[in-house]
Amino acid sequence: MTTALELTRLGYSCTILEATSSAGGRNRTIRAGDIVNETDSSQTCMFDFDDDLYFNAGPARIAHHHEFLLGYCREFGVALEVFTNDNRAALMHSANSHGGQPIVSRRVHADTRGNIARLLSMAVNQSALDAELTAADKINIIAMLRNFGDLDGSLNYTGSARGGFPGQEDVGSRQRGERVNPLALQDLITETFWQQRQGFAHGLEQQPTMLQPVGGMDRIARAFETRVINDLVADAQVTEIRKTANGVRIVYNRLGAPTQLDADYCICTIPATVLRNIVNDFSALHRAEIANFNYAAAGKIAFQSRRFWEQDHNIYGGISWTTQDITQIWYPNNGLGQTSGILVGAYIFGGSAGVNFAGQTPQQRINGALAQGSNLHPEINGQAARGISIAWPKIPFQLGAWGTSNPATLLTPDENIFFAGEHLSILQGWQEGAILSAYHAIDLIVARDSA
């Protein structure tokens, strides 16, 4: 849709052939009554009808520096609100440590910093870093470390109010003033999970402030669709991409009838997983890259639930992490304070957990997510119901979540056929990447026509 919108603005006339009934692709929000068809199952969303009860099954957050996507939101009047990625009241859970009990994120952050600051200040004061630091640097870094780790006057770490007080994670606790006992350094470094997960929100794409459209991510798709609606042919499944003497010929099925369209250029944004099975005249090099392009096997599941995370644990938005297959639990950032909310009970990025998830029936996914989720939130069993899942490797016309191979040949046109889509960008797995790849294809076409 970006390509059609911008090329039209440049004076080209475009036709968008979209296989499904509406454009948007992975930008998909599921609400009451919506149907999720996978290659071997079908589910109906049983949420209550309510503007705040929605599930962003694909993209759900936007980085504040995804400026082209945010620029379209501004231009189209798509209202935005803050998306909380990192919530210190959320949980971190490893099945293998702390007796399998989840730890509230604020403790992990406070105690990791405290332990690091204590060790580093010890090294500085024992002159272990004299080759690196001047006398002034040593004074300055000690001052910084005292604040970084909340060390006491003797540069010891004995816990911090930053970690909260005993019972802090449960509503009704009144023990303010007492400090929770600090976690030992060894408990924070022995597993990859603890070594890496708390750094998640430091990544450039994950840093605050993050945003989401008010009412669901598909507000963006619908806004785009409105702008290109006259050029959009829905329910048009491309079956052949051919080269002609002067351009391209696209064969597509529309409501059972084969149709063909001749054009000067084709910009193909079909995911490589789908494209590899479409009849084509591509060069051997293009065909090989399409055939071998890898995709992540991501999946999600959502439940309608009483907002026990808010009401019982003071968790408003954000993400809990676990070593179990479900990987993440997401709390809604919208409708705060209401009775019901949509809890994302699993967000699996891929790997064997993603493949397993895709291999399960929808009911097996629900059972698994509730069983694993109850290790963080026992309430999930009684409160979370009406689950609906999506396994992107099994969604027709997608067959994968996002590209993970490095694109090369596909960045160059094959005669009059150009390629675009998130998988061909430097921001794979992001909507901004899909837009950037559209701009790349447009630049190539404009350069050719200007030559």
Ligand X SMILES: Cc1cc2nc3c(=O)[nH]c(=O)nc-3n(C[C@H](O)[C@H](O)[C@H](O)COP(=O)(O)OP(=O)(O)OC[C@H]3O[C@@H](n4cnc5c(N)ncnc54)[C@H](O)[C@@H]3O)c2cc1C
**Cα distance between residue 317 and residue 414, in whole Å:** 46
Kindly state the smallest distance separating residue 361's Cβ from ligand X, in Å.
19
**Cα distance between residue 451 and residue 446, in whole Å:** 9
Other beta carbons less than 10 A from residue 261's beta carbon: 15
Residue in 19, 228, 376, 410 binding ligand X, rule: CB under 6 A: 19
Q: Which residue, 165 or 349, is less far from ligand X as judged by CB?
A: 349
* CA separation, residue 135 to residues 123, 220, 263, 408 (Å): 14, 55, 71, 51
**Cα distance between residue 374 and residue 257, in whole Å:** 50
**Cα distance between residue 213 and residue 221, in whole Å:** 11
The radius of gyration of the chain's CA atoms, rounded to the nearest angstrom, is 25
Q: Which residue, 182 or 368, is less far from ligand X as judged by CB?
A: 368
Q: Decide if 318 contacts 85 (C-beta within 8 A).
A: yes
User: Is residue 84 part of the contact set for ligand X (CB under 6 A)?
Assistant: no
Q: Which residue, 173 or 207, is less far from ligand X as judged by CB?
A: 207
Q: Which residue, 86 or 169, is less far from ligand X as judged by CB?
A: 86
> With CB under 6 A as the contact rule, which of the stretches 86-94, 120-128, 270-278, 318-326 interacts with ligand X?
270-278
CA end-to-end span of the chain, whole Å?
26
- Degrees to nearest 5, angle at CA 227 with 221 and 232: 80
User: Is residue 394 part of the contact set for ligand X (CB under 6 A)?
Assistant: no
Kindly state the smallest distance separating residue 413's Cβ from ligand X, in Å.
17
The reply to whether omega before 3 is within 30° of 0 (cis) is no
User: Is residue 401 part of the contact set for ligand X (CB under 6 A)?
Assistant: yes
Kindly state the smallest distance separating residue 14's Cβ from ligand X, in Å.
14
Residue in 17, 53, 91, 241 binding ligand X, rule: CB under 6 A: 17
For residues 51 to 70, the per-residue mask of contacts with ligand X, x marking binding by CB under 6 A and - elsewhere, is: -------xxxxx--------
For residues 341 to 380, the per-residue mask of contacts with ligand X, x marking binding by CB under 6 A and - elsewhere, is: ----------------------------------------
The DSSP element (H or E) to which 37 belongs, if any, is strand 35-38
Kindly state the smallest distance separating residue 181's Cβ from ligand X, in Å.
36
The type of residue at 157 is: Y
Q: Which residue, 60 or 108, is less far from ligand X as judged by CB?
A: 60
Total site size for ligand X, rule CB under 6 A: 36
Alpha carbons within 13 angstroms on the beta-carbon side of residue 292 total 12
Question: Which residues are at the interface with ligand X (CB under 6 A)?
Answer: 17-20, 23, 25-27, 58-62, 236-238, 269-271, 274, 278, 298, 300, 392, 397-398, 401-402, 421-422, 429-434
